[in-house]
Structure 1
Amino acid sequence: MKKIAYLFSSAIILIACESRTYEEISASTPIVEKVTYTKDVKPIVDANCIVCHSAGGAASFQPWTSYTQVKNHIDNIINRIQKPVGDPQKMPQGGALSPSQISIFIQWKADGLIEN
């Protein structure tokens, strides 16, 4: 009888435990300091967007090679990076930014689109 009670309580504990990935935890942690384009946003854009959003890229008609260009398209960027995988308007095409990277764009807008 003790073994059954032990197994039952162990099962309850295991089921009650929450499992979250590092990205999920990071995404829910508020960013304390102000997000800036140069320090926070530009590295994400350079690593994930420039291949299409620069001269010769598939989206060269809408370049994002400068602060002003990214700032002027921030609403569209935030909308598109949050679309579900499989949506033809999802950016970056063929991939996805992490929740923490998406949070950086959202926080940058909330902080006032600071350049440096």
Structure 2
Amino acid sequence: MKKLAFIFLSIVLVIVIACDSRTYDEVSDNTPITVEVVRYQQEIKPIIDANCVGCHSPGGPASFQPLTNYEQVRNNISGILNRIQRPNGDGLKMPQGGSLSANQINLFIKWQADGFVEN
């Protein structure tokens, strides 16, 4: 029984140590947006491709919510903004296991404010 408790505590300790505990400010670059109009093809799609489509595509664990094209991303912007702006440690934060930079998050916000320009 003591051996089982020791193994359990060891596993918990490894999980706790392995968790990312950096603050949002530490992982963001706070670079101001320099583009006049944010466009899906130039600014948003590269972020989605690098951080989202691994899960949010056919065959991925989040294939029920694909983000592989302009319409899917535009139609899900509220959910995307909700998830990418959550604090670290929140189980609903996206992307899982990481965080977008403040600049990347601001690009999504400005893209919405600019009227979802595609090209």
Contact 2:84/2:95 (<8 A) preserved: yes
- Residues 1-116 of structure 1 aligned to structure 2 (within 5 Å): 23-24=29-30, 26=31, 29-116=32-119
Task: Name the CA shift for 1:72/1:106 in 2 (closer, same or farther; >3 Å).
Answer: same
Give the TM-score normalised by the residue count of structure 2.
0.74
Measure, in 1, the Cα distance between the counterparts of 2:110 and 2:42.
13
- 1:10-58 deviation per Cα after TM superposition (whole angstroms, max 9, x unaligned): xxxxxxxxxx98812x1xx354410010000000000000000001111
User: CA RMSD, aligned part only?
Assistant: 1.7
Q: Return the letter of the residue paired with 2:56.
A: H
- Per-residue CA deviation, residues 74-105 of structure 1 (Å, 9 max, x unaligned), is 01101100000110110001110011010110
Larger radius of gyration: 1
Matched pairs, number: 94
1:93 maps to a residue whose letter is Q
Contact kept, 8 Å, 1:37 with 1:114, in 2: the verdict is: yes
CA contact (8 A) 2:39 2:117 kept: yes
Distance 1:104 1:31 in 2: 10
What amino acid maps onto 1:65 in structure 2?
T
Q: Could you tell me the TM-score, scaled by structure 1's length?
A: 0.76
Partner of 1:12: none
